[in-house]
Structure 1
């Protein structure tokens, strides 16, 4: 009975990932690369580097926006993205000859180092990993569902793997890889040891992936986790003024005054006369993402119409804003990214070794069955 039970769990362990092995491996690999997408951008694109040989302080974001508007007088700046100090700020705008463009502005010198009119490497890798570049329609993407459902595969493989591998904790105290007992033994030892050492990582990826799946269902069902940004009341818009009295620089000062530790990350300018400044940023909270602060500021009155911070979040909003740092390893900077990258490679390798183990077992089973069939076909007198 015990042998039958072990065989059942082993087969279940394999079937959790084998039917979608290629997709699972691809998601693991692209996620591993996405962890270092910012660093790879810095490495491969000199125009994205925020060089600062004179150790100048970073200029206010509003000044960088003004530089873009001076260089392109007819441009309509929509938003700004602020990355790590070693990457330039990205000012997104449209113009009569540019349906969508991104100005790479060095925040220390104020120079516009490049105009990008295509998809960036960072966005490409996050999109490829997040929803496999499937299109979004009616608030959902089939690819997003497919990728987030990998959490179920991962969790099932983790649980069944621990049931199969008796006394798995010995891999912490007595790790072993038997190099001289054949390829199958080496692959099994590598697969088991990587799995045991990655238990914490598998649990984190499973938990965050399950949240992304729940989030996808809520988006699809039009359930708002966070309220939409408010719009300016008609009574606040004067009939004579053409330009709001509260400019972008003043809005940024209001945000800094409201949250002294506010570190801007994504800033949206009003799209029309009833639009507001929507300012998102992070703070000194290690487990929250770079959008944990959110303010909507009325450009006509200077009123903070809406604000959100870690202290005022609901339970669902809290989960939403701690999922990404845990999933991509950004909560501790470059060092945690390196750890996540290493274990991401281990997870990708586990999917490969698991498939190779299954393949070798399958080939052996087919060979043995053919041998048995051939022996049965031989006449008794010839045996």
Structure 2
């Protein structure tokens, strides 16, 4: 009798413990899709960082190759004139200059029926080398990484939220990882990566080492992602941080009264750029936008001493006068932070070398996510095998 009572008291505990292990294993397996999702976001973000360079390698039309016997680069007026000569009847919409000179400038034009086309133009002879697609490879990668290529229908895409919210656990994992790994800075001087001692030890060492070396990069990615989340929430509830005010409108008396637009004196784009630079010396051009109507100014955007943020100048297209200048001093502190988030996240503000640094750290972050997933999977799979073996052994044990 004492023996039977002892068996009855042990059996329920064994059953309760087995059920707890089962729920723990299910928890582990359910977490795998999240690991895979984070890995997907890391990989697409890493590729998006160098997407422009990948297009440059694959498509000769994107390259600013100097033809044999060509002289210096064309000015903006000559460049646009050459493009419009090849596109009779089209009107100029905007001109864009990439950060790196080995990329061809882009010129957007609109035909008589209102269709727009973005053209890659050789900067030395003005030859149209190709036309950008409606959804380019670069845009596709960035959209896939940034908002899962889901549409913006009423406010921000929910894909934007699904991606940007990952910044919270990323920042949490960074902080907890630093707290768990005591005196982590020693790994900078004495890195440890044990090879030949099994996959689990190797991936564990790699995960820790990659995490330590990627601390600044992970901090940038997580903080900027969280800011994107905040930005979306504020926008969707109708809150803006912009201090730019209403769009600039030219006074009626400054607009010439003519019967036809062709009666106006031709606008010199080079003169407009010179006017902008006269009040903002050192501006590195990014884009020039033509007036959208008779009362709108021509707008020029560029980077100054602070490369993370665009500054702008609005030019009266009839007399070349600068009617509005927006510089760093005109931005609020919140705008400075908000405007800095995207270039900090993508690394596309100083050229190809910074992009390569981001690309290498992106690979590290992707591999660190993969190693964490492998460690998690191996541990969960091992625990599952032990659990199944224990359950099988329990069923085969003879009842006493």
TM-score range, shorter chain: 0.7 to 0.9
Q: In structure 2, what is the Cα distance between the partners aligned to 1:72 and 1:207?
A: 45
| 1:279 corresponds to 2:300 | yes
CA positional deviation for 1:97: 6.9
| In 1: Cα distance, 2:390 partner to 2:188 partner | 41
Structure 2: distance between partners of 1:157 and 1:276 = 48
Aligned residue number for residue 311 of structure 2: 293
Deviates more, 1:266-275 or 1:213-222: 213-222
Contact 2:70 2:125 in 1 (8 A): no
- Normalising by structure 2, we get a TM-score of 0.83
SS in 2 for 1:349: helix
Provide the rounded CA distance (Å) in 2 between the counterparts of 1:56 and 1:37.
Answer: 30
Does the C-alpha gap of structure 1 residues 242 and 216 become closer, same or farther in structure 2, counting only changes over 3 Å? farther
More deviation in 87-96 or 136-145? 136-145
Q: Distance in 2 between matches of 1:283 and 1:110?
A: 27
Matched, 1:45 2:45: no
Q: Does 1:150 align with 2:166?
A: yes
Distance (whole Å) between structure 1 residues aligned to residue 34 and residue 324 of structure 2:
44
**Does structure 1 residue 76 correspond to structure 2 residue 91?**
yes
Q: CA deviation at 1:195?
A: 0.8
Ranges in structure 2 where 5+ consecutive residues have no aligned partner: 1-24
SS in 1 for 2:115: strand
1:359 aligns with 2:357: no
Q: Cα–Cα, structure 1 residues 98 and 201, in superposed 2: closer, same or farther, change >3 Å?
A: same
Alignment of 1:343-358 (within 5 A): 343-358=361-376
User: Scaled by the length of structure 1, what TM-score is found?
Assistant: 0.86
2:157 corresponds to: 141
| Alignment check: 8 A CA contact 1:98 1:117 kept | no
Is 1:192 matched up with 2:208?
Answer: yes
**Separation in 1, partners of 2:31, 2:332:** 35
Aligned residue pairs: how many? 367
Q: 1:100 to 1:324 in 2, by over 3 A?
A: same
Which structure has the greater CA radius of gyration?
A: 2
The structural deviation recorded for 1:131 is 1.8
| Cα separation, 2, equivalents of 1:120 and 1:377 | 60
Correspondent of 1:205 among 197, 217, 221:
221
The structure-2 alpha-carbon separation of the partners of 1:364 and 1:64, relative to structure 1 and needing over 3 Å to count, comes to same
2:345 paired with 1:327: yes
Contact 2:120–2:128, Cα closer than 8 Å, also in 1: yes
1:114-136 deviation line (CA, Å, top 9, x unaligned): 23343333323222222222112
Quote the offset at 1:202 in angstroms. Answer: 0.5
Gaps of 5+ in 1: 1-10
Q: Does 2:49 match 1:27?
A: no
User: Matches of 1:88 and 1:359 in 2, distance apart?
Assistant: 46
Q: Are positions 1:257 and 2:278 aligned together?
A: yes
Q: What is the aligned partner in structure 2 of residue 160 from structure 1?
A: 176
Runs of 4+ off more than 4 Å: 14-19, 244-247
